Structure 1
Amino acid sequence: MEVSLARRRGVDLTVAAPPSKSLTHRALVVVALADGKSEIVRPLDAGDIARTRTGLETLGIRVVGDADVLTVQGCAGRLPLDAPAVVDAGDSGTSLRFLTGLATLADFPVTLTGSARMQERPIGPLGDAVAALGGEVGYAGRPGFPPIIVRGPVRGGSVSMPGDVSSQFISALLIAAPCWADGLALTLTTPPVSASYLDLTTGVMAAFGVEVRQEERTFLVEPGRYHPTHYEVEGDWSSASTFFAIGAVCGGRVRVDHLDPTSAQGDRRFLDALAAMGCRVRADSTGVVLESDGVLDGTEVEMAASPDTVQNLAAVAAFARGPTTITGTAHLRYKESDRVAAIARVLRGFGAGVEVGEDQITISPGPRRGHLVVDPVRDHRTAMSAAVLGLGSGEVTVQEAECVAKSFPGFWEALQEAGLL
């Protein structure tokens, strides 16, 4: 599927944010461990979530429902596996890592694998931690990379691990920890990357009755049980950022409903960056509004806590009146694609200057180079950020545009309904 985009000016757009992918993942895994039946209201229905749901079912957890409500019968902290199992997470890193944590509660070996790209993404720090806590860990191929083989039950206890590779390694351990006999004392040897995602994890755990204490870089979880409950998923700031980026570069007004302006989602800070570039932002009881005259200034902004919006911010920066430096980008190399390389490739093709450092990217606006064809290499964020470039300037075609189904299946339809396609 290819999508071609033409330049738009003065947009007036009202859309509803899809449910949060990050919170739906976390809620699904937590309710799977609860002692009883729980409901997840307004879950995200997307490719990554389907991978988590299928993985849970492979591990013996029953999930029923539709796009409005999912009902999950929890296992009370012990997976009901009666034979070895294989979980295929596809391209979903969150699914693979969180389900690796759950596999520590199985009495039989669980092999967790994924796509070719997934098998290039490291999981060694998580595997090392599981082994140190009493689990059996092996690798079917290259050590430290999927497929990873895990067998429990893990007893828990004290362990240390680096925090600067993936916050999902930390979240995977925290979520499983109350089901371990000795709980968990997890000390990070380096500051956590994307720390806001840990806030999402501990917030979901608290909603189901488990508290996580933090003492500097140590996280403490006592043995216990998750209580079944009724959990409603808030809107997704990562997906919403694309609409705000479109408003910034095209000028006009964009309203996104179903967003919580006080959310723990770090990607809501994307609006702070747009405000620094000259946009006007306000929130009310039902959503968030951005207004822009399309005249944008370059800025310098730290985005380590908002990784899934960096490509949209880089696209906006290509339209600014001066250079923009985005710091906190090193870990983007380990996403669905190497997103640092993707930013450089796409924006240079667009005509912008791009300088890449170890932990920063500087974008300088430049003259357009004509029609741009973007191959997102199956990365949904690359595809959506290309839409920002196309609507801001025209003459952009996105190949394999269906890859947005990973996080936002209705993205192109939302643009079409708004008259932007």
Structure 2
Amino acid sequence: MKMYRVGGAVRDELLGRAAGDRDWVVVGATPAEMLEMGFEPVGRDFPVFLHPETHEEYALARTERKTAPGYHGFAFHAAPEVTLEEDLARRDLTINAMARGEDGTLADPYGGQRDLAAKVLRHVSPAFAEDPVRILRLARFAARFQGFSIAPETLALMRGMVEAGEVDALVAERVWQELSRGLMEERPSRMFEVLRECGALARLLPEVDRLWGVPQRAEYHPEVDTGVHLMMVLDMSARLGANLAVRFACLGHDLGKGTTPADVLPRHIGHEMRSRKLVRALCDRWKVPTDCRELAEAVAMEHGNVHRSGELNAAAVLRLLERCDALRRPQRFDELLLACECDARGRLGKDDEPYPQRDRLGAALRAALAVDTAPVAADAAARGLKGPAIGDAVRDARVRAIAEAI
């Protein structure tokens, strides 16, 4: 029996990056032997065990065989005679197909070190084409590892997978899992560029794919192309350390521009409502979590109004706050403002410009929340006001507070 540390932990060690979870492969063992050593079984499809002390995952060396389309269409074979090289051969990329023995020896049968040095993402074997999730994973790695290119033969393989309809068999949970991880990488735009290059973006996110080639007014968007702008916005969200909900809202904020009639371009009147509708459809299709969905819809509808908010008086500002549900959800409103800042600064030559709208609206919200509504309502009632009139009195007090703050 031999145990090897495998996959991302070995790759990141060689890159000098902080490693995440460590995974292990066990060669020459049976499930019964693992149980005798105190390991706890957790794998449903193939033998995976948790170490009794570290709780790290140890999987028996295995091979796999494609049996049906899609992510779940595999049969696995785990047995003591399966070699380390056979186990590593089923992995996606050469840089993920290395192993470190307990004695420190590096096993690299497929040239992972070579490709790390050359900064190349390359598939291990033709079996890459059997799992469509690997297209998303490779795109995510491209977003993480700056300067890495895709081997031409790997890109050709990915295109063939798309043409064969493999990505159409992906389940929503895995698509969202990989998209959400990719959005949180160092350069999220690279993930979408790779997906577009192999044709997968048009299948998975046609609302995003159609944005390339759509012009915008140059006085507001020096980069002109809507797809280029979107990629700049996503990278700005990473630069500003935005959370997942904000980054997803950035992804969806301009989807409606892809459906603007050609005869009115480069103007995009009414794209906000169309963007919200497309965001909803995208979220339904890939089962996007509620927090991401709600923020994305709000940003799609209101980002233009936030950009123009410096022109609004106190009453109009309060109406904007109310539409964004900011009085009840101030934290989400702060996320909305950050997404709008990413949009404003994700433009050619605008990346270092200030975004005063965020401070102004933040001050307005704090002022509105600071109004003690109970005495305002009590005074209104003492003056004989009832129902909606009392609400109007509270709103008037908030308008006055906002006026002083801005």
TM-score after normalising by structure 2: 0.32
Larger radius of gyration: 2
Q: Which structure's relative contact order is higher, taking Cα pairs within 8 Å and 6+ residues apart?
A: 1
Structure (1/2) with the larger strand percentage = 1
More helix by share: 2
User: What TM-score comes out, normalization by structure 1 length?
Assistant: 0.31
